[in-house]
Amino acid sequence: MSSKEQVVFGIDVGGTTCKCGLFRMDGELISKNEIPTRKDEGGKYILYDIRDYIDMELSEKGIDKSQVAGIGIGVPGPVTDDGTVNKCINLGWGVFNVSKTLSDITGIPVKVGNDANMAALGEFYDGGAREYSSVVLVTIGTGVGGGVIINGKPVCGYNGAAAELGHLPVVEDETEYCNCGKKGCLEQVASATGIVRAATRMLNATDTPSSLREVPFISAKVIFDEAKAGDSVAISVTEYVCRYLGKGLACAAGMVDPECICIGGGVSAAGEYLINLVEKYYKEYVFHPCKETRIVRAELGNDAGMYGAARLAMTV
């Protein structure tokens, strides 16, 4: 590449690995790697490992550090506009300014965002929402995350906790506590673990024959697969789950009125079955001007946060 061409790094910090990408300024991915997320001693090595990766990548590609326009980084926790993380429990981090710390040790400008917002930014520019001016992204995996992008910019909120869709208190009959300490969070029903829990409860509450009773290990994928195949209990589970997803997204639309809602995360592999069912309940609950909001599937998979972090470094 040209000795004058500028590049950015997009880093998505997860609980197990950091997904790291090197990008041209037009968004083209040059290379990507993963490095372990070392959470020892309160996660104090994570930013230094990222620095070492960047130094190695620049050396291998023959890129001078002066060509790096910035580093974007997504982290699993609330982030304020100045790059201060308000605790990332899964990493062992407390409250500190990630932007300043990483910039100080790399000598490169750094911008930081919440990982779900970074995934939303990635889908907005390079994925399933690229044709729209604004998007609410919901990611459905181990938990339920959310991100809001309006006119190309993520909405962070005063405390860095905007778009925490998984913790909308929409489940009326929940008796167990969510990991956040509340009861009735959307995540308790609509996450992969919540879907399995809903299925287990329904199976225990009835003697209705179900193929799920023959499965040695029930997963969200199995539940959706069996629902598609016509199993009555699996269908009841997916209807229950998607009713709350539709309700939660209707709440989000009532606040943001996005042009598009994008569904990502591992559970989105259920495809059109999931999209259609969520859309049915979304239209039942949403305020009437938002009824025709497009609901689409995310396209970037696990790379969305990396792409979004790179875009944050370029554009915000």
pLDDT of residue 46: 96
94-99: Cβ within 8 A, 24+ apart: 94/42, 98/47, 98/73
Distance CA 142, CA 95 (A): 24
Q: What is the torsion angle, in degrees rounded to the nearest 10, for the CA atoms of residue 32, residue 93, residue 114 and residue 186?
A: 120
Per-residue pLDDT 10s for the chain (316 aa) are 666 899 999 999 998 999 999 999 999 999 999 999 999 999 999 999 999 999 999 999 999 999 999 999 999 888 888 999 988 888 989 999 999 999 999 999 999 998 989 999 999 999 999 999 999 999 998 889 899 999 888 898 888 788 989 999 999 889 999 988 999 999 999 999 999 999 999 999 999 999 999 999 999 999 999 999 999 999 999 999 999 999 999 999 999 999 999 999 989 999 999 999 999 999 999 999 999 999 999 999 999 999 999 999 997 5
Q: Give all strands (DSSP E) within 214-293, no chain letters.
A: 260-264
User: Do 197 and 218 meet the contact criterion of CB atoms below 8 Å apart?
Assistant: no
* Global pTM value: 0.90
pLDDT of residue 55: 97
pLDDT of residue 149: 94
Distance CA 313, CA 303 (A): 16
Distance CA 87, CA 80 (A): 11
pLDDT of residue 316: 55
User: Do 255 and 226 meet the contact criterion of CB atoms below 8 Å apart?
Assistant: no
68 sits in which H/E element: strand 68-75
